[in-house]
Amino acid sequence: MSKLRCIIIEDEPLAVKVLTDYIAQVPFLQLAGQFKDAIAATEWLRENEVQLLFLDIHLPKLKGMAFLKTLVKKPSVIVTTAYHQYAVEGFELDVTDYLLKPIAFERFLIAVNKVKAAFNDKLAAAETAVVKDYLFLTVQKKKIKVLFADIVYIESQREYIKVVTTKNEFISRMSTHEMEALLPGDIFKRIHRSFIISMNKLESFTAEAVEVNGVTIPIGRGYKEVIDGL
């Protein structure tokens, strides 16, 4: 299980001891540091990264809420305080939870589990967002890997398409619409009813045609705005 690195920013020794004991009982938390004021924490955070702050509001030198406003890259924050009147301001600053002292362990668990759930969701979203740089094309019952970076253009040939790459040409039984759905739209553009081109391979163009890797391809009447936008 990956652990969430956290720090305590708190000037009350008893509160520090309670939080330290609680953190030690949670398998997915790792205490990386303790600070009596936000200035010291700020210096440390310039060279270190954590996923969670336990932050008191009434701190010497720089108050907790003011400290939060200075953070450019903000980790999850659990506010710990004896003053409930700051709850609204805390949530406006996007804190995950707001714990009133004295803090019960059960309430502490609820707060850190919120952080863990949000962290897991972020990891899952990052994994989903990984973009493939290739596709597998069916050619004569064989699956062939084709890199997007190698594709020059795709041409419709009735119920087939011809995929022209920098190295080869492939014929596959599918439509240009089906192929278009598999391609990253920021790189590949349809410029004709029968042609999709890689904008990375575009060398020159006129109002009537484009040239990709030395091949001239016509621009369809209804697709001129694609080139006009360049």
User: For all residues of the chain together, what is the average pLDDT?
Assistant: 90
Sheet-wide strand order for 215-218: 202-205, 209-212, 215-218
Q: At what angle do helices 13-24 and 105-128 cross, to 10 degrees?
A: 60
> Which residues, 6 or more positions from 175, have their beta carbon under 8 angstroms from its beta carbon?
156, 159, 161
pLDDT at 183: 92
Longest dimension (CA), the chain: 77
The reported pTM is 0.57
Is the pLDDT confidence value at 91 over 60? no
pLDDT of residue 130: 59
- pLDDT at position 43 is 92
In tens, the pLDDT along 128-138 reads 655 678 999 99
pLDDT at 58 over 80: yes
Which domains does the chain show, CATH number per domain? 4-128 (3.40.50.2300), 134-228 (2.40.50.1020)
Structure tokens at 153: 């253009």
pLDDT tens profile 95-124: 899 899 999 999 999 999 999 999 988 887
Q: 127 is written with which tokens?
A: 């994994």
**pLDDT at position 141:** 87
Closest CA to 108 of 116, 90, 66, 69: 116
pLDDT at 35 over 90: yes
Q: Residue 36: how many CB atoms within 10 A of its CB?
A: 18
Check residue 145 and give its pLDDT: 95
The answer to whether 56 and 10 have CB atoms below 8 angstroms apart is yes
